[in-house]
Chain A
Amino acid sequence: MPDLLIELFSEEIPARMQTRAADDLRKLVTDGLVEAGLTYAGAAAFSTPRRLALSVEGLTAESKAVREERKGPKVGAPDKAIEGFLRGAGVAREDLEVRDDKNGQVYFAVIEKPGRMAADIIAEVLEKTVRNFPWPKSMRWGNGNLKWVRPLHAILCILSDEAGTEVVPLEVDGIKSGNTTQGHRFLAPDAFTVANFDDYEAKLKRANVVLRADERAEAIWAEATTQAFALGLDVVEDRGLLAEVAGLVEWPVVLLGQIDDAFLGLPPEVLQTSMKEHQKFFSVRNPKTERIERFVTVANMETADNGTTILAGNQKVLSARLADAKFFWENDLRVAKAGMQPWLDSLANVTFHNKLGSQKDRIERIAALAREIAPSVGADPDLAAQAAKVAKADLSSEMVYEFPELQGLMGRYYAAEAGLDAQVAAACEEHYSPLGPSDDVPTAPVSVAVALADKIDTLTGFWAIDEKPTGSKDPFALRRAALGVIRLVLENGHRCVIGDLVVTAYQEHALAWAKQYRLRRYLDPQNEKGVTDFFEGVDGEDRFLGKDAVNAALAHEKVLITDPTTQHSSSPVYDLAHPTLNLSRDLLSFFHDRLKVFLKDKGIRHDIIDACIAMPGNDDLTLLVKRAEALAATLATDDGENLIQGFKRANNILTQAEEKDGVEYSYGADIKFAEDEAEKALFAALDAADAKIAPAMKAEDFSTAMTAMAALRAPIDAFFTDVQVNAESEILRRNRLNLLSRIRNICLSVADLTKIEG
């Protein structure tokens, strides 16, 4: 059983692409080999900045011969059909056999595929792999047409066993396979031959190349922490950076460097970000002071002076970078201490979205909305509005311009420097959260108010301009925003009526449009003609926006809406009064969809959620989830599960009877017509359940209500066992149907159980 070794040697591969590329190489080659009839015992792929390598162990030396018979068209079928068959089977006409079939004579093709040598298969599979490699971005070079991530220089491809090593011959765009490679670009550039994988890895190491990325990463981390430890310091852990740095070197040399004292006063996050983003340095922290005091850089080079020159160069570059950062920080502090007004002003010149205005417009809307939301999340309305106003000020700061990933965090520093309330400063940082399903959710009331306002403004705005997510496309991350709202509300247990918030948010948008279209002068209640004139003057989309704008402005100004003279449907002003309904319904159902996904991950079935969404108050997410959780718990019990069957039976009988009789049985079941004990017992049980359920529902105590509902299981089962609903006596029948209707009403008052599956 031979082993296969492949190395694709190229100019430097971007670090971020290496791991994925090694995986792709393994998958494409091994899949190709298997598809061609070979088997193998194991395969592993490796990457360095200049090479992708694949080792396949225990490969079969050749593929088995395969014989396949294929039935073709009838003898005498049109030539076209026969030719098509020949093409598909890959045989010539004279090779066809004629056989007797139950429908007459039929052509048969016998396809004999002889076994092939592994080397032939490998050559074919590797060439195809190289030509079709799924690089995220690839390029041509020189005169060639081949595409690779950067110019591909050499292909090593060998099969080895006890008997020796042979090169698998292949050629891709003039690159011939061989059995040689080379080591480190500077430390060991000479070519050497390779006999097998062990030989390859060992010789590479002698030639200053560590083949395995995880080995490089471990070596870097071990050396960095050792050097830091010796000085009583900690290396700040950063797995992403470690993986990246391991992809930038073949021969890692860890160097610990100094940060000039002049920069130690910068916020630690600034130091860390600047060093990481620009220089790919690790930060080294003093556990006593919590400050970042040193850095670790990883060179790809051993030098006669043990890295002294390299480290000096890196320190100099860092100083220049940090001088910039310090310059930004000091400039920013001046603006922050003076109250940040220039930043707020300049946000007027930054477009948020061309139909949704500038960042400044957006901030004004969010501030108004945050003020509305504040009481329901326990925040002070003034603080919430103030926080919203400054929460995005740092977007104009020099530091955030340089390091966009510091947005929010710098806002917090600057708000504190501006002397604002600590809750306001915290909101500057926290209002972006949660960014993902596992991100922490802020709990501070002011932060929650601004975070909700920000997200709802975004959702409503993009809904209003019809930029909703479709399929996999969600360029404005609206799904994430909706999930953020859901988590903010649920995890803090707040009671916010989403529908109301959306309407408020919408009015803020519309008001902004109204201002944008300079419509205020048309808002004279007596000037209906003015409004109409305006619509005559604008077309298409602008017209739509203009219309909504007027409406919102009207609502805002509280004019005309309640004026009876405008309640006529032909009045344009009346038209304008109701455009938010559809939007708010549509957006609410988007929230419900996201909620289903969210709750599904928490183990609550979609039909249970549907049963609760169908109930009133479904735009209060906390209430909705409370109901769903109680229902899920009830359905998990034996009584609950069986109650559903009883409910469905009652509902089916009732629905059929109502259809047949053309009436609704909804009232007047009277115990005096009850004959059977089970029937009487059900009356009693329903009375008892009613007495518990109604007040419990009022108190939103769903679990008590549902437990009481589940307790109906036994009386309902007994009723169906002992009592015939469709009695001969019409009075008895009607009474029993009305009794079933009580079951239905009681159950449906808790959740829409018709939606429950099974």
Chain B
Amino acid sequence: MADKPRSFQDIILRLQTYWAAKGCAILQPYDMEVGAGTFHPATTLRALGSKPWAAAYVQPCRRPTDGRYGENPNRLQHYYQYQVLMKPSPPDMQDLYLGSLEAIGVDASAHDIRFVEDDWESPTLGAWGLGWEVWCDGMEVSQFTYFQQVGGHDCKPVSGELTYGLERLAIYILGVDHVMDMPFNDPQTPIPLTYGDIFKQTEQEYSRWNFDIAETEVLLQHFVDAEAECQRILDAPADDPKTGRKIIMAHPAYDQCIKASHVFNLLDARGVISVTERQAYIGRVRALAKACADAFVQTKAGGAAA
């Protein structure tokens, strides 16, 4: 068994190496603000259609309501998820997952690893699946989901999705008590950096902005704009007069859906969305996600005949 990882980035690198060895394409984070790694089109869109897929990536996630000015030991408004999506889900997906834990220094013979029921549902993505939260010594270290529906479409074949909450997992593996004290790079290097060196200040800045400063009128307008643009993109005829090709713009439309979703999260953090409005906003984002899913399955990557 490999020795224990010594830093946050070591854990990430080991996961990358492990999943690369298991045949996943190692992708880079999506270049937009998202609330969870699932929003990356490599998961949401690629879970649709019949084409096989295997990808893994780190995704920075933003959850404005979770901001705690960097004070809470493990709650952050910006954090990292590690995401794996395999379609079709391989028969030994649980074993593959357990192998990844071993790769980052969790020895299954010394810990208590359990698969505890957790049905996953994303109302904004019109998606659901069944699976577990994985517990290690009573701590939730990952989510494990067999996607059944995304964007209102049945997933055929079914994708297996793994999501690791990297900070929480790393805090446990590295044995630190507070996320900000966690070594980000190797503590033996000439310039050792902790997670706090890198993120403490940004957590403070964003917490303040998220909760008190973000201009809600502008955000509301952003939401409306993104929604309109998404629909406009999807309404464009598939045949592109310039190239003479059929180009359905599922991804650009989906970007607008992601944008709308994030703006909604910001508005939520600003406390300007009432309980009743909340449902309505979620419904509007879901409508966009569904429309994008409908468009994607018309494309080649979505499994449509060329």
Q: Given A12-B115, A12-B132, A186-B113, are A351 and B276 also a contact pair (CB < 8 Å)?
A: yes
Let me know if A354 and B137 touch, CB within 8 A.
Answer: no
Q: Please provide the chain A residues from 140 to 197 with a CB less than 8 Å away from any CB of chain B in the complex.
A: 140-143, 149-151, 153, 186
Known A186-B113, A320-B74; 17 more pairs at CB < 8 Å: A12-B116, A15-B116, A137-B130, A140-B148, A140-B158, A141-B146, A142-B157, A150-B146, A151-B91, A153-B91, A300-B112, A301-B111, A307-B112, A309-B110, A310-B138, A317-B137, A351-B275
| Chain B residues within an 8 Å CB radius of A323 | 73
Is A139 a contact of B148 with CB atoms below 8 Å? yes
Give the distance in Å from the alpha carbon of A320 to the alpha carbon of B132 in the complex: 21
We find that the number of chain B residues with CB closer than 8 angstroms to chain A is: 37
- Is A199 an interface position by the 8 A CB rule? no
B137–A313 touching, CB < 8 Å: yes
Chain B residues near A248: list those with CB within 8 A.
114, 116
Near B by CB (< 8 A), chain A positions 1-60 give: 11-12, 14-16, 49
- Pick the contact of A313: B73, B158, B172 (CB < 8 A): B172
Please determine whether A142 and B139 come into contact, CB atoms closer than 8 angstroms: no
Residues of the B chain whose Cβ atoms lie less than 8 Å from the Cβ of A11: 94, 115
A396 at the interface (CB under 8 A from B): no
- Given A12-B132, A309-B137 in contact, is the A304-B117 Cβ separation under 8 Å? no
- Which B residues touch A140, using CB under 8 A? 146, 148, 155-156, 158
**Contact between chains at A313 and B138 (CB < 8 Å):** yes
Residue in contact with B117 in the complex, picked from A15, A138, A316, A318, CB distance below 8 Å: A15
Task: Check B110–A139 contact: CB distance below 8 A.
Answer: no
Enumerate chain A residues within 8 angstroms of B172, measured Cβ to Cβ.
313, 316
Q: Which residues of A contact B138 (CB under 8 A)?
A: 279, 297, 310, 313-314, 317-318
Query: Which residues of the other chain, B, contact A299 by a CB distance below 8 angstroms?
Result: 112
**B114 partner residues in chain A, CB cutoff 8 A:** 12, 248-249, 300
Compute how far the CA of A424 lies from the CA of B137 in the bound complex, rounded to whole angstroms.
43
CB of B123 within 8 Å of the partner chain: no
Is A303 an interface position by the 8 A CB rule? yes
A151 to B112, CA, bound (A): 22
A-B pairs with beta carbons under 8 Å apart, 25 shown: A11-B115, A12-B115, A12-B117, A49-B115, A138-B130, A139-B158, A141-B89, A141-B160, A142-B90, A142-B91, A150-B130, A150-B146, A151-B89, A151-B91, A151-B146, A301-B111, A301-B112, A309-B137, A312-B137, A313-B111, A313-B138, A314-B138, A316-B172, A320-B73, A350-B275
A11 nearest CB neighbor, chain B only: B94
**Using Cβ atoms and an 8 Å threshold, which residues of chain B touch A637?**
none
Contacts of B160 in A (CB 8 A): 141
A314 with B157, Cβ < 8 A, contacts A11-B115, A142-B89, A309-B110 known? no
Q: Does B108 contact A (CB under 8 A)?
A: yes
* Closest chain A CB from B146 CB (angstroms): 5
Is the CB of A349 closer than 8 A to any CB of chain B?
yes
Most buried by B among A137, A140, A153, A309: A140
Q: Which residue of B lies closest to A308 (CB)?
A: B110
Residues of B within 8 A of A309 (CB): 110-111, 137
Closest to A312 in B: B137
Q: How far is the CA of A309 from the CA of B112 in the complex (A)?
A: 9
Residue among B73, B90, B146, B155 having the largest count of chain A Cβ atoms under 10 Å: B146
Question: Does A305 touch B at the CB level, under 8 Å?
Answer: yes
Q: How far is the CA of A316 from the CA of B116 in the complex (A)?
A: 19
Given known pairs A299-B112, A317-B139, the reply for A139 and B89 (CB within 8 Å) is no
Residue numbers in A under 8 Å from B137 (CB-CB)? 309-314, 317
Residue of B nearest to A255 (CB): B112
- By the criterion CB–CB under 8 Å, are B88 and A142 in contact? yes
Q: Give Cα A303 to B172, complex, Å.
A: 18
Cβ-closest chain B residue relative to A354: B276
**A137-B119 contact, Cβ under 8 Å, with A150-B130, A314-B137, A317-B139:** yes
